Structure 1
Amino acid sequence: MSQTIELTSVIPEDMHGMRLDQALSELFSDYSRNRLKGWILEGLVTVNGNVASVPREKVNANDSIVINATIDSEDHFIPEEIPLNIVYEDDDLLVINKPAGLSVHPGAGRRTGTLLNGLLYRYPESINLPRAGIVHRLDMDTSGLMVIAKTIRAVHKLVKAISRHDVVREYEAVVIGHMTAGGEVDEPIGRHQTNRIMMSVVPEGYGKEAVTHYRVMEKFRAHSRLRLRLETGRTHQIRVHMSYIKHPLVGDPLYGGKRARFIPNASAEFTRYVNTFPRQALHAIKLEFKHPFTGEELSFEAPVPDDMIELVEVLREDTKEHPDDIVWGF
């Protein structure tokens, strides 16, 4: 089964002079760059009413972009009865609190047991939506809030709002190292040169703009609890940026959070607990956006899950026992 979609946008000032395929990947980030490039080559993209067929074509500020394309539905995925913790729902969208361990979308070697399979079961009509209405993602082992579209018009509006950075996404995390103050990481992110499942900070011009703001909520002797806000939403962004500044997330298997560390005077039990924490300590705690059709300001918060609460309690107790043995970074 397939469906015809129309995507529209206007090139903002900061994309003036950018390649068309690059601009489209920024404006319509819910679709892969290869798919967008294919639509250009098929003549399905117009710029100011003229068919654009060259991906390298340069765009100008205020150019009007329209894509009319056909996409396959999700009918090749199996609907499954998977519990969904629904925080909010109306006719156009829903907000869920995703548990750690639930993959958002099927991938290589995983066709079942994902959020998408659960959406297809609960909302059979979502078979006609791209990715069953999923407009942004959380990593499998990251918990917290996600907004999901229930209609094609909501897909278009929410994707556009996310690409314009109009959706506020805040996270809570526990990182390795004692941090004294918050800050900002403004470093582009691209695919890792040697490990294709990882992302990394890359030289300017080789990746996508990525900005993460963070502040310290609580200091422990060898760890810190942070509140983070995404200005952009790149794959693994928080995990990559925190590792880049030498404060990887506790439990992160890809970016250094599971690497064995020496912590002065720590008990064997404490060291084992921290070094074997079963996932990256990251939770999408807050989500704010304007309803795409009513204009109502929506704001949601999801309680920190039990495993991260227990982690923080363990770190507090260790800090009380060893207040002077500060460990600053990775």
Structure 2
Amino acid sequence: MTQTIEQHTRVPETSAGVRLDQAAAELFPDFSRSRLQAWIKAGALRVNGAAARPRDKLLGGEALSLCAQLQQQGDWEAQDMALDVVYEDAELLVVNKPANLVVHPAAGNRSGTLLNALLHRVPALTELPRAGIVHRLDKDTTGLMVVAKSLPAHTSLVAQLQARSVSREYEAVVQGALTGGGNVEAPIGRHPKQRKKMAVVAGGKAAVTHYRVLERFAGHTHVRLRLETGRTHQIRVHMAHIGYPLVGDATYGGRLRLPKQASAVLTECLRDFPRQALHAAGLGLQHPASGELLHWRAPRPDDFERLLAVLHSG
């Protein structure tokens, strides 16, 4: 079964001198570079209305138009798994993702993912890029995710994310006592030596995180964060970059910091917290069909609540 997908965008001036296939991979992030290269060669992805080659260099400002037949995506398996569905209609599905759940199948995780569960609930998602998933949460980050159920909804959500008009609010517990809120504006890219990690690097993708203090403890802070951009591991990288890594973050957290005179209960809780203390608490966007502004909130999970309770008790 096939559907026609149609998307349009304009090449930013900052992409002058970049190959067409490289720019397309940035501007059409829901499709792999190899798929986009095939569409360019077939004339389905055109530059200012004309056919081009993947290696052609861009000047900046060109109009890119993609009109292609979208066939069933991947060989993913539908699985009957529990989903905490916060909202659903003909266009959208919003889920509250638990910890320890991978979003998308990959090497080593071909089953048991959120995508597998979504396909069981909505089999038609096989026809959409990445089964309608337009943004991700890390395996151990909890909270709200929106999934498109139709091609028009998918196109709209991708455009809203690119325009930074989707509201994404998080809560986290960080190591260290922050004196106040602030912003982190620092580019993120692959770590130059540890390729499985991200880092603040010159030449990385622009990334902006806003944070404010909700509550201070002796050696930790409960913060609320808002994303302008959605880079991989953005909050975790940015907070570690300014010296306040997330509690439980094995990748970016560094050594465990214990407050002076920490109780045995607090010490055990901090040492045993099984994941980064990060929760996607709020999500807001414009409904693709009605244009209505919608907002959802997800309560903090039990492990996060217990962490806060133990920090209160010292």
TM-score, structure 2 normalization = 0.92
Q: Distance in 1 between matches of 2:74 and 2:45?
A: 26
CA separation of 1:54 and 1:117: change in aligned 2, threshold 3 A:
closer
AA matched with 1:79 = A
Quote how far apart the aligned CAs of 1:110 are.
0.9
3-state SS, counterpart of residue 52 of structure 1:
coil
Q: Distance in 2 between matches of 1:34 and 1:208?
A: 21
Q: Distance in 2 between matches of 1:120 and 1:82?
A: 10
Indicate yes or no: 2:259 matched with 1:260.
Answer: no
3-state SS, counterpart of residue 50 of structure 1:
coil
3-state SS, counterpart of residue 162 of structure 1:
helix
Render the CA deviation track for 1:268-326: whole Å, top value 9, x for unaligned.
432221022011110111111111121101111111111111101111111xxxxxxxx
Structure 1 match to 2:137? 138
Structure 1 match to 2:270? 274
Contact 1:42 1:53 in 2 (8 A): no
Contact 2:175 2:257 in 1 (8 A): no
AA matched with 2:235 = I
Aligned-pair RMSD on alpha carbons?
Answer: 2.1
Quote how far apart the aligned CAs of 1:221 are.
0.9
Quote how far apart the aligned CAs of 1:72 are.
5.1
Q: Distance in 2 between matches of 1:290 and 1:223?
A: 35
3-state SS, counterpart of residue 263 of structure 1:
coil
Q: Distance in 1 between matches of 2:2 and 2:109?
A: 23
Q: Distance in 1 between matches of 2:28 and 2:87?
A: 25
Render the CA deviation track for 1:3-41: whole Å, top value 9, x for unaligned.
5532222345x6463634454344323334554455445
Return 5+ residue gaps in structure 1 as ranges.
Answer: 319-330
Structure 2 match to 1:202? 201
Q: Distance in 1 between matches of 2:35 and 2:138?
A: 22
AA matched with 1:219 = R
Equivalence map 1:96-135=2 (5 Å): 96-135=95-134
**Count of residues in Structure 1 that have an aligned counterpart in Structure 2:** 313
Q: Distance in 2 between matches of 1:118 and 1:54?
A: 36
CA separation of 1:125 and 1:220: change in aligned 2, threshold 3 A:
same
Structure 2 match to 1:24? 24
Q: Distance in 1 between matches of 2:23 and 2:228?
A: 18
Contact 2:171 2:280 in 1 (8 A): yes
Percent pairwise identity: 52
Contact 2:219 2:258 in 1 (8 A): no
CA separation of 1:115 and 1:244: change in aligned 2, threshold 3 A:
same
Equivalent position to 1:226, from 223, 226, 246? 223
Indicate yes or no: 2:153 matched with 1:154.
Answer: yes
AA matched with 2:53 = S
Contact 1:218 1:224 in 2 (8 A): yes
Deviates more, 1:41-50 or 1:154-163: 41-50
Indicate yes or no: 2:57 matched with 1:57.
Answer: yes
AA matched with 2:8 = T
Q: Distance in 2 between matches of 1:243 and 1:42?
A: 44
3-state SS, counterpart of residue 120 of structure 1:
helix
